[in-house]
Amino acid sequence: MYIDPVSQEPLGLAVQVMSENGPISIGPISYTAGSGSLPAKLSFELSDLAEDTTYTVRISGARDLAYNVMPTYSWSFTTTTGDSPLRIINIDLEKNEFNVPTITTPLKIYFNKEIKLDSETEISVYKRDDKGSVIEGTYTLGQTEIIFTLLPGVTYSFDTWYELNVKGIKGEADDSQLSDYSYTFCTEVFAASESFSGEVDNELRFPIGPVVGDSRREVKVLIPSGVVDGGELIVLNVSADQKTEFNKNIWPEYLCLSPYIYEFKLKNWEKYLFEKKVTITIPYLDDGEGNVLMLNSDDKVPASSLKIFYWDPVRGEWIPVGGRVDFEAQTVSFEVDHFSIYGLLGSSSTTNQILSEVALTVNPLAFIADHRQETTFKFRLANSGKVTLVIYDSKGKVVTTLLKDALYPEGYNGFTWDGSINGVRIRPGIYLYRLFATSMEGSNTGDVWVSGTLGVIR
């Protein structure tokens, strides 16, 4: 643990103790450095605790000598009295670095007093939606705890809800009976990680895509040299529950969300944007006729309509990025300037309008704290074409040309702007924008434009 040379305290360390009623105050924190085989120790005092109450201690923020941030760690304890009824006070699971139960986790069941088993004792774990899928495991009894352990070779499934049921437990001293108890938990998603060097170009491969036969297709990430100093990139499947929530935030309504959604996390990366573009390739599966099954199983869209969108948690919406579809490889590739949650969206609807559905994700553009200081010009093209985007002042004078005959494919596209010109932010005020599109399809040629206003505030 890194110790601040001035305060002589662990740098960044935060300790919090919570009850169901909120945080409680703690006494002074003392730290004793480790030596040899002796571990470092952290201690603090708690006072005025209530009886028969569960408290959770959470420690976070500490850094090691390499300045890596320690994952948040938490545990719970319960105060009790001799005449308290027998009850379960905590379920402890082994969790990954994202604080999600692993697929091999034991289940540690803690009680508020010493316990015993009898002929009616039953401890079982099964999939929440399939009570016939009993998980094979054994349990061991301690004075105040029971530990359920999976049999060798048995694991939980990824991204699956399970239910633990406990029956027939009695108090050792007073023969009190535990009320039937159930507890649900969801396991970690399937993920993969790769380390890389910042001094060379890196093509990283993550076998976490759709299943084909006995293997999974690969999500690929090309990181050019100099983007970062190096590190570890983690790519995760997004959980089924999260996909369901994402599917509620699709606009326009005829856009469809695919199952191919992934989260990209670069460890210990504190900046937001890259100085160079990173290329990501996401695989998909079609039905043999060029159609792709979407998240809603009744929806199919042509692979030609697939585009990459990223999830903006601040605005709570999907932002178009674009992408190039390789029909033979069944992949979509795109360039990004930051890591986020990216997914494939598509549409079965068509349009004859060369340029349509022009909208800004943020308007006005605000250069103030706690605001996403950029906006995305969203637009739809009937065919592939050239796009020009010009910003004018209120008098009609050209301020800047953001795009000049840039090639964009058919479908939904987006261009993100941070409100700066050559690194300098534009002045507050009201501006006009004009988006020009030239169709490159012989059967639908032409030039069209759409204009609107953009406000800028500070």
Tens digit of each residue's pLDDT (9 = 90 or more) over 106-158 = 999 999 889 999 888 999 999 999 989 999 999 999 999 999 999 999 999 99
Tell which residue, 191, 281, 279, has the closest CA to residue 238: 191
Q: Rounded to an integer, what distance in angstroms lies between the CA atom of residue 44 and that of residue 15?
A: 9
Same domain, 334 and 404: no
Same domain, 204 and 316: yes
Same domain, 242 and 271: yes
Residue 125 burial by Cβ neighbours in a 10 Å radius (0-12, 13-18, 19+): buried
Based on its alpha-carbon atoms, the radius of gyration of the chain, rounded to whole angstroms, reads 28
Same domain, 197 and 183: no
Element (H, E) at 314: none
Q: Rounded to an integer, what distance in angstroms lies between the CA atom of residue 432 and that of residue 426?
A: 13
Give just the sign of the alpha carbon dihedral 224, 226, 230, 233.
Answer: negative
pLDDT at residue number 8: 57
The range of the structural domain enclosing residue 145 comes to: 81-188
Same domain, 269 and 334: yes
pLDDT at residue number 73: 81
Same domain, 260 and 146: no
Which are the contacts of 357, defined by CB distance < 8 A and separation ≥ 6? 252, 378, 379, 380, 412
Same domain, 202 and 234: yes
pLDDT at residue number 121: 92
Q: Rounded to an integer, what distance in angstroms lies between the CA atom of residue 12 and that of residue 68?
A: 11
190: which 2 tokens?
């399937």
Q: Rounded to an integer, what distance in angstroms lies between the CA atom of residue 169 and that of residue 87?
A: 9
CATH number, domain containing residue 366? 2.60.40.2550
Which are the contacts of 244, defined by CB distance < 8 A and separation ≥ 6? none
Same domain, 235 and 290: yes
Are 236 and 209 a contacting pair, CB within 8 Å?
Answer: no
Q: Rounded to an integer, what distance in angstroms lies between the CA atom of residue 153 and that of residue 80?
A: 38
CATH number, domain containing residue 176? 2.60.40.1220
Q: Does 364 sit behind a cis peptide bond, omega within 30 degrees of 0 on the bond before it?
A: yes
Instruction: Supply the DSSP symbol for 296.
Output: S
Q: Tell me how many domains the chain contains.
A: 4
Q: Does 210 sit behind a cis peptide bond, omega within 30 degrees of 0 on the bond before it?
A: no
58, 79, 100 - which closes a domain: 79
pLDDT at residue number 373: 79
Question: Residue type for 191, please?
Answer: A
Collapsing DSSP states into helix, strand and coil, what is residue 242? helix
Are 315 and 408 a contacting pair, CB within 8 Å?
Answer: no
- Number of residues written out for the chain: 458
CA angle 264-269-274, nearest 5°?
75
Beta bridge partners of 310: 319, 342
pLDDT at residue number 82: 66
Same domain, 85 and 115: yes
Q: Rounded to an integer, what distance in angstroms lies between the CA atom of residue 99 and that of residue 95?
A: 5
54, 79, 104 - which closes a domain: 79
Are 27 and 45 a contacting pair, CB within 8 Å?
Answer: yes
Same domain, 40 and 51: yes
CATH number, domain containing residue 228? 2.60.220
Same domain, 197 and 343: yes
188, 206, 238 - which closes a domain: 188
Are 309 and 318 a contacting pair, CB within 8 Å?
Answer: yes
Q: Rounded to an integer, what distance in angstroms lies between the CA atom of residue 257 and that of residue 242?
A: 12
Same domain, 247 and 338: yes
Give the chain's residues under pLDDT 50: none
